Amino acid sequence: MKYFIVDAFTDTPFGGNTAGVVLLEGNDFPNEGLMQAIAAELRYSETAFVRRDGESRYTVRYFTPKGEVELCGHATIATFSLLHRLGLADGPCRLRALAGELEVMAGQQVMMQMAAPHTIATIEETKEIYNALGIRDYRPALPVQVVSTGLPDLMIQVQTVEALNALQPDMEAIAELTRQHEALSFHVFAFADDGYTAHVRDFAPAYGVPEESATGTANAALTHYLATHGIIATGDHRFLQGEAMGRPSVVETRLKADGNVWVGGSAAIVAEGRLFV
């Protein structure tokens, strides 16, 4: 099996968010234990296993170092950017994932349709959530909610970008709270008048990912969340993530008139190799 290391949501190697991409050579996926072991060996937040099903049709499975997830935005951007570079995908493609069947536009800039957005829950008592981030006695203007465009994430507002970058997350507490609220991550955001829709940080320690430098699914969920609260309208939006990690990433989203959200960005191929398993 050939594998690649690809940095998504950046034009430059060693920026953005890194994913492993494994191109399958046959019609069958490896057994789950092997895919899990490969993801743990590569140690990136997600590794995508890609099977070509036909002309412009692909099935992709996504594994973190600790388990399989239904969808991953940055690994999808990495995958279809790679397929485009290899001459295997161009223009409209169909992606089948555990989250459902979605459309992807492959090219130098990849745009992917997300699963239908919806708000799952509103968290009334937020003290424990903010304490887990090292914040005391803060009541946000916007509610803490679990929102999904394929994966459920907690949307959490903090007061300023400075406060966002100064967070002192308790990873054990965050892992327990995400499990309690049946969410994948804490997706924490702040507004700034600098041309970005929001600055964000994302913590998913329950899945072996203390912090991610770019998360497509969570920023799609944030796009839906901000729209439902009247903060943004239809059109294109940009989220800056990864600053605190020294890997700044720009995640672009598109909110359509029908309420669906697309996520996009570019990617840089860093390395390739072969797995002898």
Question: From the candidates 25, 32, 41, 46, which is the catalytic residue?
Answer: 46
**How far apart (Å, rounded) are the C-alpha atoms in residues 258 and 191?**
25
Residues 6+ apart with CB under 8 A from 33: none
Nearest to 4 by CA among 112, 101, 84, 111: 84
Give the 3-state secondary structure of residue 274: strand
Query: How many residues are present in the chain?
Result: 277
Nearest to 123 by CA among 153, 149, 160: 153
CB 69 within 8 A of CB 151: yes
The answer for 197, left when phi > 0, alpha when psi is -120 to 50, beta otherwise, is alpha
- What distances in angstroms separate CA 199 from CA 67, 113, 190, 202, one per listed residue? 28, 22, 5, 11
212 in active site: no
CB 7 within 8 A of CB 268: yes
**How far apart (Å, rounded) are the C-alpha atoms in residues 65 and 59?**
20
For β-strands 57-63 and 91-97, DSSP reports them as parallel
- What distances in angstroms separate CA 140 from CA 125, 132, 137, 164, 243, one per listed residue? 12, 15, 10, 13, 22
∠ CA 106-69-258 to the nearest 5 degrees? 55
Catalytic residues: 46
